[in-house]
Structure 1
Amino acid sequence: MKCSQLFRKLKKAGWFVKSQKGSHKVLSRPDYAKKITFPDHNSTEVTNGIAAKIKKLTGLGL
């Protein structure tokens, strides 16, 4: 899955960009205490480790 596809899924699930530094975005959600650091490299594939961590933190089926 590409970074841009995963970012769209997260936005659809209610996550929004709280801050950004370079190509890394910090995503937040009002009803969730933790933040997610997301490497936004548009056309590159998300590594398995990052996808697993985001899935664990958000509960999204990726």
Structure 2
Amino acid sequence: MRAPVPTSAERAGARHVDVREAFADHGVCADEPWIHGLVSPTADSCHPNKAGQAAYFAALAS
């Protein structure tokens, strides 16, 4: 059996970080959301806000 061929992301040193648990109480409708709801421009909708970006950074840095 041949070894699996690494993906481009793996060759570049990327790793997966699961932030679902950290974001669990910070969805769009939460008291302290970390994700934008529907905003203008709509391309920014459902993306992390400043607090969400900080949470992603903390997850990546750990």
* Higher RCO structure (Cα 8 Å, ≥6 apart): 1
Q: Give the strand-richer structure, 1 or 2.
A: 1
Q: Which has the larger radius of gyration?
A: 2
Whether the TM-score (by the shorter chain) exceeds 0.5 is: no
TM-score (norm. length: structure 2): 0.31
TM-score (norm. length: structure 1): 0.31
